[in-house]
Chains A and B, each alone.
Chain A
Amino acid sequence: MAAIEIDRVTKRFDEVTALDELSMTIEEGEVFGFLGPNGAGKSTTIDILLDFVRPTSGSCTVLGMNPQRQPEAVRQRVGILPDGYHVYDRLTGRQHVQFAIDSKGGDDDPMALLERVDIADAADRKAGGYSKGMTQRLVLAMALAGEPDLLVLDEPTTGLDPAGAREMRRIIEAEVDRGATVFFSSHILEQVEAVCDRVGILSEGELVAVDTIDNLRDATAAGETLTVTLSTPASESAIADAEAVTGVQSLTTDGATLTISCDGNVKMDVLDALESAGHEVVDFSTEETSLEDLFMQYTEVNA
């Protein structure tokens, strides 16, 4: 059974379309990285899975249940580290974790959870006095309460230093070993790269790529980025011709400079296409595409 199934979900806020017919499936037991720049719709997707926000159209299931119909049953089995949360300033760390445990009807030891996230020494201090990183650890401890089948982590490394981010990764790995599915979002590629089995890249409310890290790496290893400088800004027809060349994946323009990602063996075809469209090529260079470039290309907003 799929841990998360999203079927043509659209969400519009007034005039803004935050998600546009998003469909994807996350299998049980996998670590899925949800990538995209800020504002791509990652948090909206997560909010819909948890019934914080209702979809305009489409449907989804979480652990086989519809969150719109059975929100409490879904959240009973999901551990959540949301985005844009705020803790109860006047309650202590221990009270927060105890509340999460009680809410799930679990029998975890709150101190053990606080030790896992390394803030046991601050257990009896009021959470209002915690630093950003400590607060993030506290909410992670709350998410771990009750051994959830699915962990949904929205930008989990926000506010963590590199050591904290490493610990976060260790905790994710331990949870997966226990049998949990992990769905986490990030706008930082390297975090996702380090732990994820598969990634989905979201851009402007649409899923532009879903694949394993290895496949994405293979796809990009063969490809390259071609930068072409023309004597005059490229005409629309020239851009269309260049994009039509077999092997070209994407193309962006900045005045007279074109950045084209393409297979390794088509650069001459692209240059030919531009010249036969009436342009003079002043300069060009090629570079092998890294995963980072790929991410940038996928998520770049084409003006």
Chain B
Amino acid sequence: MSLALVAKKDFQDASRSKVLWILSVLYVLLISAMVWAFAEFESLLAGGDAAAAAQQGVSFNLYLFMAGATTLFISATALVVSYKAIAGERESGQLKLLLGLPHSRVDVLLGKVIGRTAVLAAPVVLGFAVALLVAFALGVNVVVTEYAIFALLTVLYALVYVSIVVGVSAMASTTTQATAGAISIFVVLEVLWDLVPTVTLFGYYYITDQSLPISPAEYPEWYYVVTRLAPTSAYNAARNAVLPKSASVSIDSSSFLLQDWLGFVVLGLWLVVPLLVGYWRFEAADL
């Protein structure tokens, strides 16, 4: 009851942000463009070329194309919409109005996560709807149930990202700290998480004087295990677990640690752990 109220009010407030609307319009355009790009690509690769690509261990489908635009939109927008969710209200004094009413700090934290996820889910659902129409118009073959599952998975990914950002916001006592936290999230999750293993791997081949494998599919297993621990890679793995497999690099997933369904476990951890840490700090804080 209390949770739903906080979430609803938070949605009402945050959804009136102009930045969100601008980002949403960009997303609808971007995702439609990706569907168009896929349609073009599909006609290019029609027939023998597609089979040849599949032979190389590479397979492309519509969801892979959509996922690229979507992860970029969600990670960036989740940060913009949520980084001040707790810290900003704490600094301005809005939290005194909210917590002056009979809401617990857990209600506030979870209400924010739900409210901001709803704010993010609205453009995602709109973008998916528009993209579906574009796909139909361009004659792309879409299985609607698969498409719907992908949309649900994407909302889950948005929820995970918002949880991370709200969790960090709850740890911060000022908006300056929250801003630093948000930038760190982006740099760590979207840049370093791929960059550090890649540099390590290349460095390893260089120092041991070995030549780099021609296909990324032959990179050592640990490389993929590590990179898949990031939420965005986990979302892609989870997508491959429930939808027709599609990735720019097809790796051997017979190893237990590279099972696609583990993507859901990783997403689950990213959903819960930052929130728990954030709650632990927020619960003890003097406002």
B85 nearest CB across to chain A (Å): 13
B100 contacts A82, CB within 8 Å? Answer: yes
**B17 in contact (CB, < 8 A):** yes
Given contacts A52-B286, A71-B104, A88-B13, contact A103 B97 (CB under 8 A): no
Name the B residues within 8 Å of A87 (CB-CB): 94, 97
Q: How far is the CA of A164 from the CA of B35 in the complex (A)?
A: 60
List A contacts of B103 (CB < 8 A).
Answer: 72, 75, 103
A259 to B93, CA, bound (A): 41
Please tell me if the beta carbons of B93 and A86 are within 8 angstroms of each other in the complex: yes
Asked if A80 meets B100 with Cβ closer than 8 Å, knowing A13-B286, A52-B287, A90-B16, the reply is yes
B5 in contact (CB, < 8 A): yes
Q: Is B19 an interface residue when CB atoms closer than 8 A count as contact?
A: no
Chain A residue nearest to B100 (CB atoms) is A80
A91 close to chain B: CB less than 8 A: yes
Kindly name the residue among A53, A73, A82 whose own CB sees the greatest number of chain B CB atoms within 10 A. A82
Mark A42-84 against chain B: 1 for CB-CB distance below 8 A, else 0.
0000010011111000000000000000011101100010101
Chain B: residues with Cβ within 8 Å of the partner, total of 23
Residues of chain A with a CB closer than 8 A to B96's CB: 52, 80, 82, 84-86
Complex contacts, A104 vs chain B, CB 8 Å: 101-102
11 interchain pairs, CB-CB under 8 A: A52-B99, A52-B286, A53-B287, A72-B2, A75-B100, A75-B102, A86-B92, A86-B96, A88-B9, A96-B97, A142-B100
> Are A84 and B93 within 8 A (Cβ)?
yes
Q: Which residue of B lies closest to A54 (CB)?
A: B286
Closest Cβ of chain A to B20, distance in Å, is: 11
CB-CB < 8 A to A103: which residues of B? 2, 5, 101-103
Q: Which residues of A contact B100 (CB under 8 A)?
A: 50, 75, 80, 82, 85, 142-143
User: Would B102 and A85 count as touching, CB distance under 8 A?
Assistant: no
Q: Least Cβ distance of A89 to chain B in Å? A: 8
- Chain B hits for A95, CB < 8 A: 9, 12
Residues of chain A within 8 A of B89, CB atoms compared: 86
Query: How many angstroms between the C-alpha atoms of A87 and B97 in the bound complex?
Result: 7
- Residue A21 interfacial (CB < 8 Å): no
The residue of chain A having its C-beta at the shortest distance from the C-beta of B92 within the complex is: A86
A100: B residues at CB distance < 8 A = 101
Query: Which residue of the partner chain, among B12, B99, B102, contacts A73 with CB atoms under 8 Å?
Result: B102
Contact, CB under 8 Å: B93 / A85: yes
State in angstroms the CA–CA spacing of A85 and B251 once bound together.
54
Q: Does A99 contact B (CB under 8 A)?
A: yes
Q: A242 near B: Cβ within 8 Å?
A: no
Q: What distance in Å separates the Cβ of B62 from its nearest Cβ neighbour in chain A?
A: 37
Measured CB to CB, the closest approach of chain A to B199, in angstroms, equals: 42
Encoded as 1 (CB less than 8 Å from any B CB) or 0, chain A from 84 to 118 comes to 11111011000110011011110000000000000
Cα(A90)–Cα(B13), bound, Å: 6
**Residue of B13, B17, B89 with most partner-chain A CB within 10 A:** B13
CA distance A73 to B92 in the complex (A): 25
How far is A71 from B99 in the complex, measured between Cα atoms in Å?
9
B259-287 CB contact bits vs A (8 Å, 1 = yes)? 00000000000000000000000001011
Contact with A along B1-30 (1 / 0, CB 8 A): 110010001001100110000000000000
Known: A52-B287, A99-B9, A103-B5. A88 touches B102 (CB 8 A): no
- Cα distance A218–B16 in the bound complex, in angstroms: 57
Question: Smallest distance from the beta carbon of B196 to chain A beta carbons, Å?
Answer: 37
Most buried by B among A13, A88, A143: A88
Q: Which 6 A-B pairs have the closest CB atoms?
A: A80-B100, A103-B101, A86-B92, A90-B16, A76-B102, A86-B93
State the Cβ distance, A155 to closest chain B Cβ, in Å: 13
Q: Which residues of B contact A88 (CB under 8 A)?
A: 9, 13, 94, 97
The residue of chain B having its C-beta at the shortest distance from the C-beta of A44 within the complex is B286
Evaluate contact between B17 and A90: CB separation under 8 angstroms: yes
Q: Which residues of A contact B93 (CB under 8 A)?
A: 82, 84-86
A139 within 8 A of B: yes
The CA of A13 and the CA of B102, in the complex, are separated in Å by: 26
Residue of B nearest to A142 (CB): B97
CA distance A104 to B286 in the complex (A): 24
* Chain B CB within 10 Å, residue with most, of A54, A86, A142: A86
Report the separation of the CA atoms of residues A82 and B93 in the bound assembly, to the nearest whole angstrom.
9
- Which residues of B sit under 8 angstroms from A139, Cβ to Cβ? 97
Q: Once bound together, how far apart are the Cα atoms of A54 and B96, in whole Å?
A: 14
CA distance A226 to B236 in the complex (A): 82
Known: A75-B100, A76-B102, A91-B13. 4 other contacts (CB 8 A): A75-B99, A90-B12, A90-B17, A91-B9
Give A106 Cβ to nearest chain B Cβ, in Å. 11
Instruction: Using CB atoms, name the residue of chain B closest to A154.
Output: B96
Is there contact, CB below 8 Å, between B5 and A99?
A: yes
Of A51, A76, A85, the residue contacting B97 (CB under 8 A) is: A85
* Distance, CA A127 to CA B230, complexed state (A): 40
Kindly state the separation between the CA atoms of A52 and B99 in the bound complex, as whole angstroms.
8
Find chain A residues with CB under 8 A from B5 CB: 99, 102-103
Docked complex: B39-90 residues within 8 A CB-CB of A? 89
| A72, B287: Cβ atoms closer than 8 Å | no
Q: How far is the CA of A100 from the CA of B2 in the complex (A)?
A: 11
In the complex, chain A residues whose CB is within 8 Å of the CB of B94: 85-88
> Which residue on A lies nearest to B14, using beta carbons?
A90
A72-B103, A76-B102 are known contacts. Are A82 and B97 too (CB-CB below 8 A)?
yes
